[in-house]
Amino acid sequence: MNCKVEKEIEILLPDDFHHHFRDNKYLDTTVFYAMQRFGRCIAMPNTVPPIRNKNDAENYLSRIRESIKRFIKKENKFEPLMTLYLTDVTTEEEILEAKNYGILACKLYPAGATTNSNFGVTDIKNIDLVLKTMERIGMILLVHCEVTDSKYDIFDREKYGIEIMLKPIINKYPNLKIVMEHITTKEGVEFVKNCNDKVAATITAHHLLYNRNDLLVGGIKPHMYCLPILKSEIDRKSLLDAATSGNKKFFLGTDSAPHSIENKECACGCAGIFTGHIAIELYAEAFDNVGKIDMLENFSSRFGANFYGLPLNKKKIKLKKLVTGYKVEEKIKFGESFLKPLRGGEIIKWFIE
Ligand code: DOR
Ligand code: ZN
């Protein structure tokens, strides 16, 4: 390998505000990569079964911590942050108990919107009291903002999600802090920009780097299938503008979502792209592509922590860009199977020192 470095930057250790660790036998894969790149990760609760109350979260956290310990013996600073999965029957008591335990946020999955969302909310009226309580006690609502009714085109699900789900929630609970997760459209960017400071958004690396042509042109690429689905080049550019603009409402959330190769390469493949193995490297590439690498640190290491009310990480990391690059691992062990990571077998240039 030619190790000549073209450029380098030092940034505060990033946080990932949207990460799918999965559970049990899968944890060693996800934890291994996440803890090399992030100080903290918001752990998505759509495990099987989902994390629906404080007890679930407590047990899940200890399983993740066991995995962390397998990689580092001494006290490790890597901190997984738990979330709750809202259902039609989540109670006010469960929210209060979760808040007391230190859970910062709850995730709203519309039922049927994505992977493991069958226990999700069927009508936002069913979580009226829950949202009111969250607003009162200062818990953050994380929204998978897509409508599920089959009358909507899959490429418009986010746009209508804003109209049908998000706007009514914001109007009814103006003091509720909300993160519109993994935004994918120009409409999403404009909407979040025009909301007050209670509303922010995460952006994935894959939505910054790819558009729907990468999924569909020249044959269907199941490993590029995620939800919300990749959108147009106009949308991608709008996300990149937002992420690199220095607007504190937009911050890092990878949505790194592993599935085994068999579950991706089949007649009805799962939604999700695994980026955990090169997560911050991909963001560096996206920012660098538009000459905005100096804007990365705010996006990756400050704005999210500030929105969540967390202290900034103290540690720093160095990111370097090689002149020629290096090859990404083709496949990664995932439980008894393997997954195909984004860019598997391809060359990338950015790496963490
Ligand atoms: O692509 C996705 N995969 N989107 C989601 O919302 C869920 C995730 C998963 O859990 O696999
Ligand atoms: Zn997700």
Mean pLDDT for all residues in the chain: 97
On the question of pLDDT at 183 being above 90, the answer is yes
Residue 286 · residue 250 · CB < 8 Å = no
Q: How far is the CA of 74 from the centre of ligand 2 (A)?
A: 30
Q: How far is CA 226 from the centre of its chain?
A: 12
Instruction: Using the atom order of ligand 1, give the atom closest to the CA of residue 144.
Output: 6
Predicted local confidence at residue 125, as pLDDT:
96
Q: What is the pTM of this model?
A: 0.98
Q: What pLDDT was estimated at residue 75? A: 56
Residues taking part in catalysis: 255
Instruction: Kindly report, residue by residue over 243-258, the tens digit of the pLDDT.
Output: 999 999 999 999 999 9
Can you read off the two tokens belonging to residue 85?
């999965």
For residue 44, report the distance from its CA to the centre of ligand 2, in Å: 7
Most ligand 1 atoms within 8 A of CB, residue of 227, 264, 273, 340 to mutate: 227
Ligand 1 nearest-atom number relative to CA 113: 6
CB-ligand 1 contact for 115 (6 Å cutoff): yes
> What does the alpha-carbon distance between residue 347 and residue 278 come to, in Å, rounded to a whole number?
12
Task: Name 203's Cβ contacts closer than 8 Å, sequence gap at least 6.
Answer: 182, 183, 239, 242, 243, 250, 251, 252, 253
Tell me how far the alpha carbon of residue 54 lies from the centroid of ligand 2, in angstroms.
20
Question: What single letter denotes the amino acid at residue 212?
Answer: R
Other CB atoms closer than 10 Å to residue 50's CB: what's the count? 22
**pLDDT tens readout for residues 95-109:** 999 999 999 999 999
Pocket test for ligand 1, best of 16, 19, 20 (most atoms within 8 A of CB): 20
| Residue to probe by mutation, ligand 1, list 19, 44, 107, 115, most atoms within 8 Å of CB | 115
Distance 229 CA to ligand 2 centre (A): 12
Average pLDDT on 300-306 reads 98
* Proportion of the chain above pLDDT 70, given as a percent: 98
Q: What is the pLDDT of residues 250-293, one digit of tens each?
A: 999 999 999 999 999 999 999 999 999 999 999 999 999 999 99
Is the pLDDT at 325 greater than 60? The verdict is yes
Residue 143 DSSP SS3: strand
pLDDT(73) > 80: no
Taking 90 as the threshold, does the pLDDT of residue 2 lie above it?
A: no
Q: Is any ligand 1 atom within 6 A of the Cβ of residue 271? A: yes
pLDDT tens across 149-173, in order?
999 999 999 999 999 999 999 999 9
CA distance 33 to 47: 19
pLDDT tens across 337-350, in order?
A: 999 999 999 999 99
- CB of 114 closer than 6 angstroms to any ligand 1 atom: yes
**Does ligand 1 lie within 6 Å of residue 272's CB atom?**
yes
What sign does the CA torsion over 338, 339, 343, 348 have? negative
Would the CB of 207 count as within 6 Å of ligand 1? Answer: no
Q: How confident is the model at residue 3 (pLDDT cuts 50, 70, 90)?
A: confident
So what's the pLDDT on residue 115? Answer: 86
Q: Which amino acid is at 150?
A: S
pLDDT band of residue 332 (cuts 50, 70, 90) is: very high
For 126-143, b/e burial (b = at least 16 CB within 10 A) is ebeebbebbbeeebbbbb
Whether the pLDDT of residue 25 is over 60: the answer is: yes
Q: What does the pLDDT look like over 7-19, one tens digit per residue? A: 999 999 999 999 9
Q: What is the mean pLDDT of residues 30-43?
A: 98
Who's near 258: CB < 8 A, 6+ residues apart? 20, 22, 26, 29, 30, 272, 274, 276, 334, 339
Residue 76 scores a pLDDT above 70: no
For residue 328, give Cα distances in angstroms to 21, 278, 295, 353: 20, 8, 25, 16
111 burial (CB, 10 Å; 0-12 / 13-18 / 19+) is middle
d(C-alpha 251, C-alpha 143), whole Å? 15
